[in-house]
Structure 1
Amino acid sequence: MTENPFTNSLKSPEIKDVTIKDHFWGKYVDLIRDVVVPYQWGILNDLVDIPVKSHAIKNFKIAAGLEDGEFEGFVFQDSDVAKWLEATSYILEKYPNPDLEKKVDEVIDIIEKAQWKDGYLNTYFTIKEKGKRWTNLEECHELYTAGHMIEAGVAHFKATGKTKLLDIVCKLADHIYSVFGEEEGKIRGYDGHPEIELALVKLYEVTNNSKYLELAKFFIDERGQEPYYFDIEWEKRGKKEHWQGFKKLGREYLQAHKPVREQREAVGHAVRAVYLYSGMADVAYYTKDKELYEVCEVLFDDIRNRKMYITGAIGSSAHGEAFTFEYDLPNAAAYAETCASVGLVFFAHRMNRIKPHRKYYDVVERALYNTIIGAMSQDGKKYFYVNPLEVFPKECEKRFDRHHVKPERQPWFGCACCPPNVARLLASIGKYIYLYNNNEIYVNLYIGSEAEFSINNQKVKIVQNSSYPFNDEVNFKIIADGEVYFTLNLRIPSWCDKFEIKINGELLTGFNLKDGYVSITRGWKSNDRIEIILPTQLKRAYSNPLVRENIGKVAIVKGPVAFCIEEADNGDNLHLVSVDRNSSLELQFDEKLLNGIYVVYAHGYKIWRDDFEDQLYKTDFETRYQPTKVKFIPYFAWGNRGKGEMRVWVYEK
């Protein structure tokens, strides 16, 4: 008999109950609050002078009858507004701001006017194709955009206590419930882009209305069934496509190739996959569905063990923005969409909530410390959609198969799903640090913070001081009224070969380490102190030899942080650079570089290219190497010094 995974009933603390006090992460929270949210507000209102205009707010004004005009943008343009509302609500929950709240209220008023009397809400089908609601779920993202608006409504209610947007999304969800389901007369379909599933579970969490959980489960279990719904609706609309050639992308792209309970491999569009898996994990959590949980675990392990870049990026193919096959992880051609890493964090967090295991937050850390923060410029105003591990700018400009890769971050995108996704995740980072129930607290991330919990009806505050992973020591202080008995679970990342824990200065021995967490059960009192040493030495990382592009190459890592070399430090033609396999690795803090970052130096070589003169090929030639000092910077910092080459995986000699 296998172990029951549903024994913890863990939950995240509310955002308002966690204060980030961390030198590293505090800068990102401040950046989202002070720069990114206002900047994205300007873009959504077409107030920023950039080449790509959003038109997203204007679409809502037109749909509401407040302005004249035509719909502009992608069919899912509404979701940009929804994700901005969600991110802004997280900021308001922790940092009340009357002026910002007024802007949010104004947007909500417009959205209310754009909603149909029956609850339907979608500007594209209100303005452009009014009579075609729910006729093209395969391509047109109606439930996807609804899901993001529902997430925004839940976040806004939790932040402000106001119910207007929550009422709007409940009305929307009620409409969806009346349209979709197994009952006669309802549509037995689902969206081509998963998202509604996890959103409905969030709505269930705040309303306790079980029909929303029931509907989420319906969408999950209906997906991929025969007869195939997307073929049925395609026939009904006369085989017309919204995007020419969309059908050729196939069922895997839509995550509809098999019923979800039969899936054993992560395939197809990477963002759609991890959004779906997140909803599956949510439904498994609340319905105690062991079969669904086990499917999620198999899919997670497939990603982690065979399809994830060392930067926590996923989705290796630009065609279909998709997973391809195991160990296929090209560096320069990578798609590695920002949204995919954001969704991977959502999925891993939900799996850890069911049954904690360090593997989940090992993945979260890789994604957070590399791809997600690296997708945004240091000033918060430019973004990567695609996150390659190798860039040669001329390739991006001249080769058709590299056009998806940008050597520099962009101020915005026509399809702008990624910038507000980064904003909403980083604005809510506090809810990922801990999980807890009535008698346990799990520490998942070592981020300096103060967090408040209710344990056995007693208030407990944990003060965490950390500069992990660049320094090894993390300290905790307990603040409580009287003695509180609970278990404190500390995650030991897989890259820490050894660790040390002290309680009130005394070394902890005979501890219980299970699934990567050390459990300490005792009566805790105010001013109890826990010190944990988590050595994250600089290390050389190597790929599984089945990763074809990385044979003979090495990556430099410190804990979850991957480093890279850039042209700005090492000159051009980085493919000529190699690192001496016997070289020591030297970590230094450079306070003058990019507002202060850690850099790594190693002894290496650069191939002497002048011997070839004007010849393309030579025979009987001996390569000459010139000794050089190789400088690495964190991957998250690349691309902030102008256009240039970059590499994570470097040849080793």
Structure 2
Amino acid sequence: MKAILLHGVTAFLLSFSALGQMQSFSLQEVKVTGGAFKNAQDVDLRYILSLNPDKLLAPYLIDAGLPLKAERYGNWESSGLDGHIGGHYLSALAMMYASTGNAELKKRLDYMIDQLAQCQAKNGNGYVGGIPQGKVFWERIYKGDIDGSSFGLNNTWVPLYNIHKLFAGLRDSYEFGGNQQAKQVLIGLGDWFAELIRPLSDDQIQQILRTEHGGMNEAFADLYILTKNQKYLETAQRISHRAILNPLVQKQDKLTGLHANTQIPKVIGFEKIAMLTENAKWSEAARYFWQNVSQTRTVAFGGNSVREHFNPTNDFSSMLKSNQGPETCNSFNMLRLSKALFLDKNDPSYLDFYERTLYNHILSSQHPQKGGFVYFTPIRPNHYRVYSQPETSMWCCVGSGLENHTKYSELIYSHSANDLFVNLFIPSTLHWKEKSIQLTQATEFPYKNQSEFVLKLAKSQAFTLNIRYPKWADDVEVMVNGKLYPTSAQPSNYIGIRRKWKTGDKLSVRFTTSTHLEYLPDGSNWAAFVHGPIVLAAKTSTADLVGLFADDSRMGHETKGKLYPIDKAYMLIGDTDTYISKVKSVGNLKFSLDSLTLQPFYEVHDARYQMYFQTFTQNEFDAQKAKQRQQETEALAMEARTVDKVSCGEQQPEVDHSYKGEKSDAGYDDDGRFWRNTRSYMSYQLQNKGFAGKTLEISFSGNLKTEEVGFFLNDRAAEIIAVKDRVISVKTDNTELITLKIVSENGRPTPRFHQIRLMK
């Protein structure tokens, strides 16, 4: 450790081991006081209050057989995932109450917990839930009747994922909202679940865990923390998914093709269990997962996945082409994992990812004036995002979105036993009650590269005030009471200043920042402009923003506007050293780039945008131009002929098309294609708007014998037009809704089916 003593102040470059165990402050102790984050919190508060608690409670009352006080919401709340928003809503009420002290939030929280307790009492066995036909479903599980896939368990849409939201909501209601009854409901629910799986073998439990189940292992680790009852910790370990855990322990990357957000909550659970059991292997597995996802699978703004799945680390082309870019839920959970690892490892480098994702994905995922949450954030040039509406949209990213903007204060500061750490530069006030320390931070960052701190103490006391030296800062300057103090600290570390502090002491921090290009992790020639921690993007058009604010349709979270040709997008052409030199500051974090204006991505709304740019030398551009134009023309022509499509084996497209099946498997081939097959049957529903679709084109791999595989449309044998180049062409019915059923006629696995397109 190197120390410089100047004017009674000791400035330290702290090693991780010298920090002491890191701890977070409660949301009640830190208040966000201004800027974009305070605005986002206020907008979220209005959205939370616009929702009707009785509508969110309806699925639970239905399942318990109690009278309704209002009809349930539509959309995902009445099509199989009934009740999941209710669990998220409890968390949002509790955390927003802790952050703001708003009395209406506490009133709603207490009311909802009371109603859930009545449902639990009516059920009589500790169970409470909103899952359709829940009692019948859980009885099948208890008896060992299990048929699961990635998102369907006994043809029920992710029931454990659904009930996990209630587990988490009850925990948060107690922890952040101070509701004692929530703890009792939670313990009853935990006891019910532990009894439910008691008769099952470990193999049966692992079979259940194939289906998305949120962070159920974390929920039981939390129950152990609350009660110190060993059975909950044992349950948490028992419901940890070994098919994901074991490769991570071996530092094997088996993530490509997996549904991304299914995995992240499991890993949060691995990390929490590791902390409770001092299991270094599990903790290292969580760290390896975080490193893999954050460094090799994440784009500039902090998001990951395409069409909800992890794409190959060496090929991001599918993400660049898709209108279904990174999912907000993924970043919600990656921030939770980053926080857990930061507190565990005492390593401020986790904050570099946390900060980048907080500013550029989470902050950008809510409309800053009208409210509404974003599901997919495409990086496809000249595309746009869709925003939820309170009465129409009940997606998973609405649930996590309600929570995202309630807890911006969770890591602005942290502490060890005696010392204080400043992690983020956000206007805020800290009240460290235990030490009678108040710290006020005034800043306009990132628009101005400085932050001012003022201390107020009950009495003078000695401690170390640690200021984070961010990875993105070219230089950091620290002043105490107007006097400059040099430091030898390095980025992704802390500058520690130890002295006897007194009321009125002031500390100033100033940064130097610059703009750089950040290329995609696959090594391709696509790059984004980043200034400090802020990702820049350009508004390109306000045309064709179809479905900008979502309706209540099953796929309302997905953009409906046309895809603009990628080969027509803006490109950077010239020598590599000229790309940055073309960017000129015009003030207030806006930059001119020829005819474009770059600005913080979180400011870009109600428009198409471009975040990523292809980079070429002049010779490379001339060679690539004709080839890329042909590929893009063919792809857009295919999309123009497509009325509806299903990507078999991909979670959300299958859910969106009402997948059902038995004895069915799904996976991801080495050639980068998802698939599904069956030894019994599999079926989908496709929308044939305006009766425009005339044929179904079903792509497959393997050997297909039509006498061994049956194809049925609306329960009638389909007319097969042709089987050519591993595509089956089927004549469609002239109906608005087409149900395709594929049947194994001999009980053996069918070929692997990849995509079903309804074509004009």
Q: Give distance in 1, aligned partners of 2:178 and 2:521.
A: 54
1:185 to partner: Cα distance: 10
| 1:120 maps onto 2:127 in alignment | yes
Instruction: Kindly report which structure 2 residues correspond to 1:558-573, keeping only aligned pairs within 5 A, or say none.
Output: 558-568=531-541
* Change in 2 beyond 3 A, CA 1:59/1:440: same
| Alignment deviations for residues 282-333 of structure 1 (CA, whole Å, 9 cap, x no partner) | 2222333222222222222212221100010011x32x53343345363232
> Helix, strand or coil: the match of 2:60?
helix
Indicate if the aligned counterparts of 2:30 and 2:428 stay in contact, CA closer than 8 A.
yes
| Alignment deviations for residues 532-581 of structure 1 (CA, whole Å, 9 cap, x no partner) | 112223x1313158433xx1x44222222211122238999783534562
TM-score, normalising length from structure 1? 0.76
Aligned twin of 2:180:
163
Indicate if the aligned counterparts of 1:564 and 1:634 stay in contact, CA closer than 8 A.
yes
Instruction: Kindly report which structure 2 residues correspond to 1:24-103, keeping only aligned pairs within 5 A, or say none.
Output: 24-33=36-45, 35-39=46-50, 41-42=51-52, 56-67=56-67, 73-103=78-108
Kindly report the root-mean-square deviation, in angstroms, between the aligned alpha carbons of the 2 structures: 3.3
Q: Give distance in 1, aligned partners of 2:499 and 2:267.
A: 36
* Change in 2 beyond 3 A, CA 1:466/1:207: farther
Q: Among 25, 30, 42, which residue is 1:13 paired with?
A: 25
Q: Give distance in 1, aligned partners of 2:424 and 2:197.
A: 39
Aligned twin of 1:472:
449
Instruction: Kindly report which structure 2 residues correspond to 1:143-222, keeping only aligned pairs within 5 A, or say none.
Output: 143-180=160-197, 188-189=205-206, 191=209, 192-193=211-212, 194-220=214-240
Q: Among 452, 465, 488, which residue is 1:488 paired with?
A: 465
Aligned twin of 2:5:
none
Aligned twin of 1:104:
109
* Identity in percent: 17
Aligned twin of 1:585:
584
The one-letter amino acid paired with 1:527 is G
1:108 to partner: Cα distance: 2.3
Aligned twin of 2:282:
292
The one-letter amino acid paired with 1:331 is L
Q: Give distance in 1, aligned partners of 2:63 and 2:329.
A: 28
Aligned twin of 1:237:
none
| Alignment deviations for residues 479-505 of structure 1 (CA, whole Å, 9 cap, x no partner) | 222233333322222111211112222
| Alignment deviations for residues 134-169 of structure 1 (CA, whole Å, 9 cap, x no partner) | 555753434333332222122222344322222111
The one-letter amino acid paired with 1:417 is C
| Alignment deviations for residues 190-216 of structure 1 (CA, whole Å, 9 cap, x no partner) | 633231122333344444444433432
Indicate if the aligned counterparts of 1:312 and 1:370 stay in contact, CA closer than 8 A.
yes
TM-score, normalising length from structure 2? 0.66
Q: Among 517, 521, 539, which residue is 1:541 paired with?
A: 517
* Change in 2 beyond 3 A, CA 1:443/1:181: farther
1:630 to partner: Cα distance: 1.6
| 1:342 maps onto 2:332 in alignment | yes
The one-letter amino acid paired with 1:218 is R
Q: Give distance in 1, aligned partners of 2:455 and 2:423.
A: 17
1:508 to partner: Cα distance: 2.2
| Alignment deviations for residues 383-429 of structure 1 (CA, whole Å, 9 cap, x no partner) | 32111112545xxxxxxxxxxxx653343776611022122122011
Aligned twin of 2:242:
223
1:515 to partner: Cα distance: 5.0
| Worse-matched range after superposition: 304-313 or 171-180 | 171-180
Q: Give distance in 1, aligned partners of 2:19 and 2:271.
A: 15
Q: Give distance in 1, aligned partners of 2:84 and 2:17.
A: 34
Instruction: Kindly report which structure 2 residues correspond to 1:405-484, keeping only aligned pairs within 5 A, or say none.
Output: 407-411=385-389, 416-453=395-432, 458-484=435-461
> Helix, strand or coil: the match of 2:376?
coil
| Worse-matched range after superposition: 322-331 or 519-528 | 322-331
Q: Give distance in 1, aligned partners of 2:136 and 2:223.
A: 29
Indicate if the aligned counterparts of 2:21 and 2:346 stay in contact, CA closer than 8 A.
no
* Change in 2 beyond 3 A, CA 1:332/1:465: farther
> Helix, strand or coil: the match of 1:430?
coil
Aligned twin of 1:401:
none
Instruction: Give the number of the structure whose residues are more often strand, by fraction.
Output: 2
Aligned twin of 1:331:
320
* Change in 2 beyond 3 A, CA 1:202/1:599: farther
Aligned twin of 2:3:
none
Indicate if the aligned counterparts of 1:389 and 1:649 stay in contact, CA closer than 8 A.
no
Q: Give distance in 1, aligned partners of 2:599 and 2:492.
A: 32
1:128 to partner: Cα distance: 6.5
Q: Give distance in 2, aligned partners of 1:640 and 1:426.
A: 20
Q: Give distance in 2, aligned partners of 1:514 and 1:207.
A: 41
> Helix, strand or coil: the match of 2:431?
strand
| Worse-matched range after superposition: 566-575 or 260-269 | 566-575
| 1:356 maps onto 2:346 in alignment | yes
* Change in 2 beyond 3 A, CA 1:374/1:514: closer
* Change in 2 beyond 3 A, CA 1:512/1:369: closer
Indicate if the aligned counterparts of 2:27 and 2:410 stay in contact, CA closer than 8 A.
yes
Q: Give distance in 1, aligned partners of 2:17 and 2:118.
A: 45
Indicate if the aligned counterparts of 1:478 and 1:529 stay in contact, CA closer than 8 A.
yes
Q: Give distance in 1, aligned partners of 2:596 and 2:472.
A: 24
Q: Give distance in 1, aligned partners of 2:426 and 2:609.
A: 32
The one-letter amino acid paired with 2:380 is E
Structure 2, unaligned runs of 5 or more:
1-14, 545-563, 573-577, 618-760
Q: Give distance in 1, aligned partners of 2:449 and 2:294.
A: 25
Instruction: Kindly report which structure 2 residues correspond to 1:258-337, keeping only aligned pairs within 5 A, or say none.
Output: 258=246, 260-265=248-253, 266-267=255-256, 268-315=258-305, 317-318=306-307, 321-326=309-314, 328=316, 330-333=319-322, 335-337=325-327
The one-letter amino acid paired with 1:450 is T
The one-letter amino acid paired with 1:638 is V
Q: Give distance in 1, aligned partners of 2:418 and 2:405.
A: 28
Aligned twin of 2:635:
none
Q: How many residues align?
A: 552
Q: Give distance in 2, aligned partners of 1:58 and 1:635.
A: 38
Indicate if the aligned counterparts of 1:492 and 1:534 stay in contact, CA closer than 8 A.
no
1:374 to partner: Cα distance: 1.7
Structure 1, unaligned runs of 5 or more:
47-55, 225-254, 394-405, 590-597, 605-628
Q: Give the greater-gyration-radius structure (CA).
A: 2
The one-letter amino acid paired with 1:600 is F
Indicate if the aligned counterparts of 2:381 and 2:569 stay in contact, CA closer than 8 A.
no
* Change in 2 beyond 3 A, CA 1:573/1:261: closer
Aligned twin of 1:52:
none
1:351 to partner: Cα distance: 0.7
Aligned twin of 2:482:
505
Q: Give distance in 2, aligned partners of 1:578 and 1:632.
A: 14
Q: Give distance in 1, aligned partners of 2:481 and 2:198.
A: 57
| Worse-matched range after superposition: 120-129 or 527-536 | 120-129
Q: Give distance in 2, aligned partners of 1:472 and 1:76.
A: 45
Indicate if the aligned counterparts of 2:332 and 2:362 stay in contact, CA closer than 8 A.
yes
1:336 to partner: Cα distance: 0.5
The one-letter amino acid paired with 2:613 is W
* Change in 2 beyond 3 A, CA 1:336/1:223: same
Indicate if the aligned counterparts of 1:342 and 1:367 stay in contact, CA closer than 8 A.
no
Indicate if the aligned counterparts of 2:473 and 2:491 stay in contact, CA closer than 8 A.
no
Q: Give distance in 1, aligned partners of 2:462 and 2:199.
A: 48
Aligned twin of 2:728:
none
| 1:557 maps onto 2:530 in alignment | yes
| Alignment deviations for residues 69-97 of structure 1 (CA, whole Å, 9 cap, x no partner) | 99963544322111111111112223334
